[in-house]
Amino acid sequence: MAKSARPSARQSASGLDQNSVRGNGGELHQVAADETPVLTTALGTPVSDDQNTLRIGERGPSLIEDSHFREKIFHFDHERIPERVVHARGYGAHGYFETYQSLAKYTRADIFQRAGEKTPAFVRFSTVAGNKGSFDLARDVRGFAVKLYTKEGNWDLVGNNIPVFFIQDAIKFPDLIHAAKQEPDRAFPQAQTAHDNFWDFISLMPESMHMVMWIMSDRAIPRSFRFMQGFGVHTFRLVNAKDESTFVKFIWKPKLGMQSVVWNEAVKINGADPDFHRRDLWEAIQAGNFPEWELTVQLFDQAFADSFDFDILDATKIIPEEVLEPIPVGRLVLDRMPDNFFAETEQVAFMTQNVPPGIDFSNDPLLQGRNFSYLDTQLKRLGSPNFTHLPINAPKCPFAHFQQDGHMAMRNPAGRANYEPNSWGLGPREDPQRGFRSFADAEEGQKVRLRAESFADHYSQARQFFNSQTPPEQRHIAMALTFELSKVQAPAIRERMVSHLLNIDETLATTVADKLGIRDMPEPAEAAVPPRDDLPPSPALSIIQNGPDSFEGRKVGVMLSDGADVALFEELRSAIEAEGAVMEVVAPKVGGVEAADGTHIEARHMIDGGPSVLFDAVVLLLSEAGAELLVKEAAAKDFVSDAFAHCKFIGFTPGAEPLLIKAGVAPDADEGLTRLDSAASVSAFVQSCRKLRLWAREAAVKL
């Protein structure tokens, strides 16, 4: 969007009522203005603005002299020893990035100069809110951080699996995370946002409403790291050899398509296997099924930025793919696990400011703050300015500098001179041609703490996201909001959130209000900019509409009993493997079963330890006698009823019908159940699994 014609007044806490405070018991009450304490720095200096960093003009770069922001982020960065404050629960893998074609027209970044070139990479996936020991399938944003060891230095593309964020200015990041983390007086709950503090903060921050739609959607409970997208979130710049700039947004797209779980399933997976995502990535790579993503870019110039409906510097906004089609520029393949988790995954240090020549920053205030903060964080967490000496963080290209000494120094400058310039002709020197140069963008304006008027529309894209979802996905958003807000004890917070939802979708708001027992609907929240209703749906925002076209990379759980048909079992195994999927056997005993012809078949799981939530589809390959025994087992009945409730495709032999019926599932309930009695029926079942879920069943199940 073009720059505002006039400066806007500072947004006052994004809608925060300064006279609404909490008592010692957590209750909300009003106080007179003169009773409200003044916010100060740690040394007592009164703070005039805690919502915006200091910048040049309302859309200009942030200033390093902002002592309040520096103190606030400095203190926040040092709150955990040695665990990361955010993204503590992480898992990583090595691989490579392969460039498709030269992008020299847009950038002089070496990584994009030669088609077919492979660049070493390390990727760390993570949850944001949970501690190191939390479970994998929390409802949360997933970190998607990529370190590329280019020939001109490391490039850290430190993103998420969601393209927007909660806040527009980095000065609010400590507040956001404090609100999302454990409540400080009781140290719970963790790895979840279903509590008063989070929703209190969010309901006072209208700029968060777009992100709320994303985290309440199935994007926040991915089935696997392998099945989720990644985003650079911010607008960056590409700069070519002529110092010409092109704006860019980065999007990683999984080769195997997108897939998530439903909430009831996520809860049960966390109980059955809290390391579910870790185990999935480990097993895929160990089996040679290397996960792959395609890097796509949205490229645009200043004219597009000026004409676009929203400000391209606003991290709470996207550019829909239907408006600006992403261009594939390379692929990322993960093919090797770390030799040691601590040395690599735990000690890896990502920093948004790590970019090679040819890639540069925009004035996005959230990105500017991250650039300032990350180096400070790594210094505290890893204990030394020499954390770049660690092998996982060190560049793989030649490097030379005069940095020396300090804790854990593993290398120092050699020779007499440890400074430049020097008269001895020793050591490295700068190179104006090859070296990194910031794009020489002209900036003007006063030093101010302002939020640009072009950042003020907080609801229109939230509405667009909701309207872009399929009916099942919209139901899931409503269910997630209802569940989360049901854990909020303060009625005022619940009602405040409903007032925001009224600006997004009235049916969504009334559905949530009804489930929460809110009798009198509040008025819609006051909007700084009236929400638009003319933005067309974006099918690219839906997981279901962008699923895979095969069952490749998925997993089938086959429940076996003694006396099972071994020929049918082998036919099933062959069909599943031909699809590129994995089959795992679940049996009454982990030692396995004896088939009808006497063949012994090993099992991967006992029924108690291999619930159907661990699989993408299930098969009941049972003899009549085997089914008769299993109908008495609660775990066996749960295996079937959960698979049905979670809309999975179920294959079964005629002998398994008593177990289906005992679990409350009619053998002919819907098209998602396939009777297996021939090679043709096995083939039909595996083909049906390509749809991943039979969403038409969900309304009937009413989970």
583 Cβ contact partners less than 8 Å away, ≥ 6 residues apart: 555, 556, 558, 572, 573, 576, 577
Residues 665/673, Cβ–Cβ less than 8 Å: yes
**Of 251, 428, 226, nearest in space to 324 by CA:** 251
| DSSP 8-state symbol, 48 | S
Distance between CA atoms of 409 and 70, rounded to whole angstroms?
27
HSE of 430 in the Cβ direction (CA atoms, 13 Å)?
Answer: 7
The two tokens of residue 80 are 């955990």
161 is known as an active-site residue: no
Is 160 tagged catalytic?
yes
Given the residues 52, 68, 87, 354, the one annotated as active site: 87
Q: What whole-number distance in Å separates Cα of residue 34 and Cα of residue 29? A: 15
Q: Which among 417, 423, 449, 378 has a CA at the least distance from the CA of 65? A: 449
**Which residue matches tokens 């595996």?**
686
CA–CA distance, 174 with 96 (Å, rounded to integer): 34
What does DSSP say about strands 650-652 and 673-675: parallel, antiparallel, or unpaired? parallel
Contact 242, 56 (CB under 8 A): no
Angle made by CA atoms 66, 527, 163, in degrees to the nearest 5? 60
Q: SS3 of 150, please?
A: strand
DSSP letter string over 651-693?
Answer: EE-GGGHHHHHHTT--TTSSTTEEE--SHHHHHHHHHHGGG--
Out of 52, 154, 160, 197, which one is annotated catalytic? 160
For the annotated catalytic residues, the residue numbers are: 87, 160
